[in-house]
Structure 1
Amino acid sequence: MKPLHRHVVNTSRKVLCTAALAASLTTAAVVTNTPTAGAGESEPTPDSPQATDRGDARLDLPGLVADPPVPPGAAAPEGASGIPATALDAYKRAAVSVAAALPHCNLPWQLVAGIGRVESVHASGYGLKSDGSTEKPIRGPRLDGNGYAQIKDTDKGEWDGDTEYDRAVGPLQFIPSTWKTWGADGNGDGLRDPNNLYDAALGAGLYLCAGDRDLSDPAKLDQAILSYNDSRDYVNSVLGYMRQYQDGGVAEVPNPPAGNYPTPPVTAPLPTPRPPAPQPSAPKPPAPKPPTVPEKPKPTAPRLAKFELVGDPELKAEAGDALTPGAKFKAVLSDGKPAVGQKVVFAVEADTTGGTVFQADKKDSAVVLTDAQGFAGVPALTAGPKDGTFSFRASAYDADNFTVVLKGTVTAKPVANLLVRADHGTKPLEAVVGTSVRDFQLVATSEGRPVVGTKTSAGLGVKGADGVWVPVDPAKATGPYFKGQDGKKLFTVDLAPSGADGKITLPELFTTDVEPGTYFLRVITPEKVELVLELKITAPATPTPTPTPTPTATAAKP
C-alpha cells in the first residue's frame, strides 16, 4: 500500500479555571507530520515489540493504585467513573485529532482511556500535572528476559534511562522503538515525549488506527488492542473499562497528588571507547579539491499564514432550534494564495446547554475542508435543550496554531401565556346540523408575540351549572365531533404545534346527526393556558311549501 501523507491534528491541553469556565476556554493546536509512519503503511500486529510481555508499570509502586474517587456532590451520573481532569482532556483531544486526520478509523476516546486505566490508572499516583507531565517517571520492568520479554536497548536510554535493555515508558507504556515510529506531539509544544499524557494519548490513537483500521468493526478493534498487548486478559480488561466509561459515564476529578513511590533505577550510559591514537606516517600531498558548485536554494513550500473570521460571529438560538451560523473562515497561504483543501476543525466546548451539536452527525465536533477560495463554512448546529452558553472553536492546523474562539448563547423558548382567535371574533361559532366547521385557527402568543411550537389539545364539552367546562361522555355524546383516521368519532384530539406565526388550525368539526343546541370547545396547553369557544348548532331551516296555483275560469264562447 502506498504511504499516506498525513497531517495529524495535535491539540493542546485546555486551561481550565473554575471561576471562568463558563466564560473562557483557552486552546492551542498545531499540526505536524507523523515522523515515519502513515496510516496505510505499517499495521502493528500481535508480534510487534509493543505487544510483547512488558510487565506492569505499577510493579514499581508499593501497591495497586485505586481509581480516583468522584467527589461527593459532583454533577456526575450515578456510578460514574472518576478520571483525572488532565487525563480526560488528553483522551478526548486525541480522539478529536485522530478523527480529523483519519476520519474512517472511528476511534472512541473511551478506548484510549481504557488503555490508560490498565497501564497506569491514568497516571494516578505519579503526580499528574495539568500540562500532561508527571512528577515521577512511569517505567515498566527492565525487559532483560527475566520473567518478561527481552528487548535490547533501542533509544540509548533517552526515554527509559536504561542503555542496555528497554523499558516501557510513560502513562500509556510505550516501548521506545514503538514511540520512535508512532510518537506524536499532542500538546503543541514541539516535542514528542512518551512521558507526557497528551503526547502519549495521541500516539496511542495513531498506533491503534494504523493500517487503515476501522475500529467500529469489532474484529479490527480486537486486532488493534492485541497489537498493543498480545494478551486476551488485557483485551478483556481494556474493553471492560472502555464500555464502563461509555455506559456508566465519566466524572472529571482533580489530578491526584504523587505518592511516595520509589523512582526506578537509572542505568548510567556506557562510556564511549576512545579510538586508538594514529601512528605517524609519511606526509601525503594534499588531494586537489573539486571546484565548489553553489547549491541552488530549494523553494520553500507555502505554509498556512492566516486564518480569519469572515461574516457575522453571532451565535444565538432558542433551545432545541437549528442554529445556522452566518460566519465562515478563510485560510490563506504565505504566498497570498487561498489554502485549498485545508482541514478546519470545529468544536463545541464549555457547553452548559445540555448538548449543542452539529446537525449532520449529532456530534460536538466536525471537520471541514476549505474550498477553492480558501473558505470553510461553519456546519449547521442544533442548539441544546436548555438555555446556557457554549464556546465554539475553529482551528486550522499547520506548523503554527490558528484558532478562533467564539461564544454562543442559547435562550429558553418562550411559553405561550394566551390563546386567541385568529379572526379576533367574539361571536359564537355557528353551524347547521349536517355541515361542518373547518379551517378555524387560533394564535398562541406570549406578551403579544406569536409563539412557535406550542402544543395544545382540543376537547368538546358543556358548561356545568357553576359555569365550569365539563368534557362530554363519549358514550352519551350527541354534540359535534372530530373524526379519527379510521373515521370514528373523537371528542378529544391533540393538535399540531403552532407554526412560526403562532397559528394553530383546528381539525374539521362535524355536526351530522347532532342535536341542535349550544356546545363548548376547549383548547388548552400543557401549562393550563386555555381558550373556551362557544358553538351554536342550529337545525336546518324548514322549507316553505310552494302554494298550488288556482285555475283561472274561462268564459264560454257564444
Structure 2
Amino acid sequence: MAAHFGSRLRKGAATTALAAAAVAALSASQAPGVTADDHGRRTAGSAQDAPDPGGDSTASGDGHYYTDLPPLNSPTPAPGDAKGSAGTGSGDDSGIPATVLDAYKKAEAELRESKPGCNLPWELLAAIGHVESGQARGGRVDAQGTTYSKILGPVLNGSGFAHISDTDHGAYDGDKTYDRAVGPMQFIPSTWAWAGRDGNDDGVKDPNNVYDAALAAGHYLCRADRDLSVQANLDAAILSYNHSQDYLNTVLSWLEYYRKGTHSVPDGTGTLPRHRSDESTGPGRTPGSTPPSTTRPSTHHTPKPGHTGSGSGSGSHQGGKPSTEPTKPGTTPTSPAPTPTDTVDHLDDAGTGRLTARAGGTFDEKIVVRPETKAGTAVAKVRVRFVITGDTDATFTGGEKTATVVTGGTGTATAPALVAGEKTGTFTVRALVVGRTVAALEHTATVTERTADALTRVGDAPLTCTPGGEFAEPIELKATYKGAAPGKVAATATLLTSAEDPAENDKGPYFKDPADQPSGTSGKSDKKVRTLALTTDAKGVLKLPKLYADDTTGTFLLRVTTAGGATVTLELKVAEAAS
C-alpha cells in the first residue's frame, strides 16, 4: 500500500496515536548512538554532534528533502509482484525502479573493489535516493539512466536555505546567480565538480544520470577512510549529506526498511513521496519542484512527523541558520545578514614551505592559506577547498584529490598532507573559497624520483669465470636511503672499459639481453649487453641477471649506480681453469 506517514495522522485517533508513538521514537535524542523503535526503525541520538571527517560542506547544500517515513509493516511486493520482477509499483514503497536499483547495486559493487574498507551497502544509496528525489521521481529515467528532465533543489540564495553563489556558471542548474542541488542524488555544483563520477562508462560525469550520481554519492559517503559498518561513521556520512538530525533519522529509517527486502518495478512507476521538509504539499504542487516562496505565514506551516517544523534540513553552508520567523503579509523580506564567506576579498598564503617529496613519500610541508577581507583581516568559519590538478597521481591523505577545510579561530586553513605517487614532475594545488568567487591561490609541488645514498654488495665470494663460461656466483646488492630500504629505486649496471674510463667495454663479461629473446623459444638471447637498467625491489634489493664471459681473459670492472648517486664497483676475473 502507499504508506505516507504524514497522511496517516489524519485518519483517526487510533492511527494518530500509533503514528505519534513512532514519531516519538524517531525523535529520541537523549543518548548518543542509534536505537530502534517498536517497529524496528532506527533513530540516532546526538549523532548530529559527530564531526564530519571529510571536512567538507554538505553534498546537497542542506536543501529540502522528502520526510515521508516507511510503512510500519515489513516491505513486501505489491499483489501479483514477485521479488525481483516488474510490477506496477503503485502503492508499494518497497519497489524501486529497475534502472535506479541497478545503479545503486553497481555503485556498491564498484566501491567494494575500490574501497573495500568502507562497507557501503546499496540500501544506504537507496535510502538517500528516496529522501532526496523519490528515486529519481519514481524512476523517470531513460535506458542509460539519465532523468528525462532535470531535478533541481531550491535556489540557494540564503532565504530559508544556504547562501551559495553560482559556482558552475549555470552549467548544471541553469542559474548563473546562485547554485541549486541537481539530479537524483541532489549534488550542489561545487561538490559535483570534485565528487562527480562516470558510473555508466560513457565518458561523461553527469549529475542527472543515476549511475553517475549513485557512484559519486558512494565515493562521497566513503571518503576520509570511513567504515560505514561502524555506526558513528555511518551517522557522520549521512550528516555530511545534509546536516540535520531529522534528515539522519529519516534516512536511517529507510535504510532499515530496504534492508528487510525490496524488489524492482518498471521505470517510471515508483511511488512518489508526498511531503517535504520545507513545506506541506498544496494543490497544484509537484513533488521535487522548487517552492515559489520560502516564506510562509506560520498558520500554514504544519510540522511533519519526526521534524521540528523549523526546517532543520535547510541549514546554511556558512554555519548560519535560516530564520524561522515568517514574513508578515504586506511586508518586504529583509536581506539575510552577510556570512563570513561574503566578506572574503582574496586568499593569501599563510607560510607554506617548499613542497617537495620523493615518489611514494609524504610531503613534509602542508599548504596553509588565509581568506582575508579587503582590509587584510583573516576570516574565520570560511570553507576553503584544495584541489590537486595536473598530470600527477599525487593525492591528499586518504586518497582523494580534493579536500575542504573550514578556517579556524586564526582564520587559516591547512590542507591535509600531500602524498606523492609514482609520477615525477610538478603539479598544482589550487585553493578556492567555497561559495565565493575570488581568485584561486595556486601552489606548485614537485615529486622527485626515488633515490638511494648507499649501495653495498650482499656476500663477498670472488666473482670468477673461465673464458666462454658463466659466472656461478650471483650478484646481489642492497640499497639504502638514510638507513632505510627504499623500494623501486632506478639503477644502472655497466661493464666499464677501466677505472679511469667509465665508458662501456666492448669485450669481456656481458649480460644476455632478455628483450632480444626470440619469440616462442625457451632459451636466452645470445645478444651481448654490457649496460642494463634495473630497479630495486620493495626491500631495496637489487638482483643482477646472470653474467657470461667471452674468450677474453683478464680482470674487468662492473659498476652499479643508483638514482641519487650511490655507487659500487666490483671486480670480475676471467681466467683459464688451473690444470
Normalising TM by the smaller chain, what interval?
0.3 to 0.5
TM-score, scaled relative to structure 1: 0.37
In terms of fraction of residues, the more helix-rich structure is 2
In terms of fraction of residues, the more strand-rich structure is 1
TM-score, scaled relative to structure 2: 0.36
